[in-house]
């Protein structure tokens, strides 16, 4: 079996990966809060963990990987946006979740094995784990307290708090912009449950009608769907503190476990043309904006150009380069091959998802003329020749030739050159040029591109 190594934020080391159950892997990734279109920074964890999902399925078998990515559909930003637009919360969250699914499907991402909505895990039937029961247990075990209609997690009750973020309570208190509230025992104590006003969504609870705090949902959904302790937990680096630290606090104190997940993976941040993306800077790019100009496959490859833990600079240049690279790969790949990664690509990915090395491996495959291995690898990675071709065809000059005809002519030209019939070879080259196709003869054979 492939030896997989992953950089674990908990140990700060690249560790050999071994699932708790040797035959089945369980992974949880924090998903979107559905109040607005996802931006291209949000696409990074989706694409990175899709790649890991594909690798795990390759190593452990398709039916042996559970991948849960939640949908946060209870949040004050959602309430505010629905009110602003004059639609119901459900209309807003349904519409936004649908748009998110369209966006990430266009980026070549598989659906996770489960996509629970937070609102479905607040109050469930007897015997079913939910957020209310989790809070009850935390109170029983002395890790949470009720104050002024709220329930708060008592950070001082947990000596290991801060282990993931590697910060002491004193450091956190000094650095954090925490909400000061008279009912809190300690300044870092965070909300598990809060009361709702009449116009806010509310669920019945032992502490009155209210709604859960954000961190609670991931503890409840991951435990309900993956168990009290599971293998991999992922998200962007900004989630380490406080979100993931608080998830760990809730889960381990509720279940009396040592840890919540064994391996914590965090992707680095995406910047746009070298600057932090923000609405005020006017460089805020949604996934939809990117897809208006580029096929999802090109955006996907551009996302792989940096290692997932490093920051990535999202630039026009990187998209243009991905376009060129992917075009060359598809032109050199066989058609109709089964999705299957070449061993060198698996090795690169098994090394903490080393995508720059993966790209170098694919270039090598192409240079070696492994047309089938190349096609199989691209298919495994979620690249779709038809999507790319449709886009390229739409941009092709009007007199453009169909792809099959181009390939037939290229083969005929190779044959003519083999027979030293250079006049015929040149005639074919001119015929292709008239059709808007430029040939490039290289060491690895002949490739082509559309004349601009
Ligand atoms: P949010 O909706 O802000 O909770 O973000 C959803 C996911 O996107 C989380 O995993 C974040 O860490 C991640 N994320 C948000 N902004 C960026 C960014 N600029 N670059 C990379 N990941 C991001
Ligand atoms: Zn989470």
**HSE of 134 in the Cβ direction (CA atoms, 13 Å)?**
32
Pocket test for ligand 1, best of 34, 41, 309 (most atoms within 8 A of CB): 41
Pocket test for ligand 1, best of 49, 238, 307 (most atoms within 8 A of CB): 238
Ligand 1 atom nearest to CA at 268:
21
CA 286 – CA 292 distance, rounded (Å): 10
Q: Is the pLDDT confidence value at 93 over 70?
A: yes
Q: Which atom of ligand 1 is closest in space to residue 30's alpha carbon?
A: 10
pLDDT band at 196 (very low <50, low <70, confident <90, very high): very high
Distance CA 152, CA 166 (A): 22
Whether the CB-CB separation of 226 and 66 falls below 8 Å is answered with yes
Mutate to test the pocket of ligand 1, among 44, 237, 275 (most ligand atoms within 8 A of CB): 44
Say whether pLDDT at 183 is over 90. no
In which band, very low, low, confident or very high, does the pLDDT at 399 lie, cut at 50, 70 and 90? very low
Average pLDDT score over residue span 284-308: 96
Token reading at 7: 């950089």
| Atom 19 in ligand 1: residue holding the nearest Cα | 41
Q: What share of the chain has pLDDT > 70, as a percent?
A: 96
Assign 444 a pLDDT band (cuts: 50, 70, 90): low
229: left (phi over 0), alpha (psi -120 to 50) or beta: beta
Contact 234, 8 (CB under 8 A): no
Binding residues for Zn(2+): 30, 218, 243, 247
- CB distance 41 to ligand 1 below 6 Å: yes
Q: First CA to last CA across the chain, in angstroms?
A: 47
Please give the full DSSP string across 19-54, using - where no structure is assigned. -SBTTBEEEEE---BTTSPPBHHHHHHHHHHHHHHH
pLDDT given at position 446: 73
Looking at residue 326, what is its pLDDT? 97
> How much is the average pLDDT of 210-228?
98
**pLDDT (average), residues 225-243:** 97
* 61 has a pLDDT exceeding 70: yes
* Among protein residues, the one whose CA lies closest to atom 7 of ligand 1: 42
Which ligand is closest to the CA of 236, given by its number?
A: 1
Read off the pLDDT band of 169 (50, 70, 90). confident
In this prediction, residues 437-441 reach a mean pLDDT of 81
- Greater confidence (73 vs 174) lies with 73
Question: What number is the average pLDDT over the span 399-427?
Answer: 85
Q: What are the residues whose beta carbons fall under 8 Å from the beta carbon of 342, sequence distance 6 or more?
A: 361, 362, 365, 370, 373, 374, 376, 377
Give the closest residue to 383 by CA, choosing from 331, 445, 316: 331
If you average pLDDT over every residue of the chain, what do you get?
93
3-state secondary structure 109-166: CCCCCECCEHHHHCCCCCCCCCHHHHHHHHHHCCCEEEECCEEEECHHHCCCCCCCCC
> What ligand is nearest to the CA atom of residue 32?
1
What is the position in ligand 1's atom list of the atom closest to the CA of 39? 16
pLDDT at 83 over 60: yes
Q: What are the tokens at 283?
A: 């460089």
**Distance (Å, whole) CA 154 – CA 78:** 27
Q: What is the DSSP letter of 404?
A: H
Each residue's pLDDT tens digit, 301-340: 999 999 999 999 999 999 999 999 999 999 999 998 999 9
User: Which residues are known binding-site members for ATP?
Assistant: 279
Indicate which atom in ligand 1 lies nearest the CA of residue 238: 12
pLDDT digits (tens, 9 = 90+) for 104-131: 999 999 999 999 999 999 999 999 999 9
Classify residue 412 by burial, with Cβ atoms within 10 Å: 0-12, 13-18, 19+.
Answer: middle
Q: Is the CB of 238 under 6 A from ligand 1?
A: yes
Asked whether 221 and 214 are in contact (CB, 8 A), the reply is: no
Which region holds residue 436: left if phi is over 0, alpha if psi is between -120 and 50, else beta?
A: left
The confidence band for 280, taking pLDDT boundaries of 50, 70 and 90, is confident
> What share of the chain in percent tops pLDDT 90?
81
How many angstroms is it from 366 CA to the middle of ligand 2? 40
- Structural contact between residues 5 and 15, judged by C-beta atoms closer than 8 angstroms: yes
Ligand nearest to the CA of 269: 1
pTM for this predicted structure: 0.88
């Amino acid at each position: 079996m492939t030896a997989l190594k992953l950089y674990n934020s908990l140990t700060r080391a690249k560790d050999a990966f071994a699932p708790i159950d040797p035959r089945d892997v369980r992974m949880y990734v924090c998903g979107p809060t559905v109040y607005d279109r996802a931006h291209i920074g949000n696409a990074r964890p989706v694409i990175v963990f899709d790649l890991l999902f594909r690798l795990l399925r390759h190593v452990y078998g398709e039916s042996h990987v559970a991948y849960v990515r939640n949908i946060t559909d209870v949040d004050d930003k959602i309430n505010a946006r629905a009110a602003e637009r004059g639609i119901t919360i459900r209309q807003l969250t349904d519409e936004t979740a649908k748009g998110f699914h369209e966006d990430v499907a266009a980026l070549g991402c598989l659906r996770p094995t489960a996509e629970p909505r937070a609102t479905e895990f607040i109050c469930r039937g007897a015997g079913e784990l939910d957020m209310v029961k989790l809070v009850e247990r935390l109170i029983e075990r002395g890790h949470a307290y009720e104050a002024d209609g709220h329930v708060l997690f008592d950070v001082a009750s947990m000596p290991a708090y801060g282990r993931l973020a590697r910060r002491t309570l004193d450091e956190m208190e000094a650095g954090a912009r925490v909400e000061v509230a008279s009912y809190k025992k300690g300044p870092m104590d965070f909300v598990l449950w809060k009361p709702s006003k009449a116009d806010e969504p509310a669920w019945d609870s032992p502490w009155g009608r209210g709604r859960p705090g954000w961190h609670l949902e991931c503890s409840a959904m991951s435990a309900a769907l993956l168990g009290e302790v599971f293998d991999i937990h992922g998200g962007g680096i900004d989630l380490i503190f406080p979100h993931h630290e608080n998830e760990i606090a809730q889960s381990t104190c509720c279940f009396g476990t040592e840890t919540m997940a064994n391996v914590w993976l965090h992707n680095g941040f995406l910047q746009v043309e070298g600057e932090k993306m923000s609405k005020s800077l006017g460089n805020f790019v949604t996934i939809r904006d990117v897809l208006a100009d580029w096929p999802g496959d090109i955006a996907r490859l551009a996302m792989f150009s940096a290692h997932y833990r490093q920051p990535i600079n999202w630039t026009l240049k990187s998209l243009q380069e991905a376009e060129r690279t992917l075009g060359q790969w598809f032109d050199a790949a066989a058609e109709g091959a089964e999705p299957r990664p070449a061993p060198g690509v698996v090795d690169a990915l098994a090394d903490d998802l080393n995508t720059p090395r993966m790209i170098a491996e694919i270039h090598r495959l192409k240079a070696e003329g492994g047309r089938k291995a190349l096609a199989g690898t691209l298919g495994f990675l979620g690249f779709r020749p038809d999507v790319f071709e449709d886009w390229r065809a739409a941009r092709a000059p009007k007199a453009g030739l169909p792809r099959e005809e181009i390939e037939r002519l290229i083969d005929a030209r190779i044959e003519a050159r083999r027979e030293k019939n250079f006049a015929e070879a040149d005639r074919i080259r001119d015929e292709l040029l008239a059709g808007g196709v430029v040939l490039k003869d290289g060491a690895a054979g002949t490739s082509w591109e559309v004349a601009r």
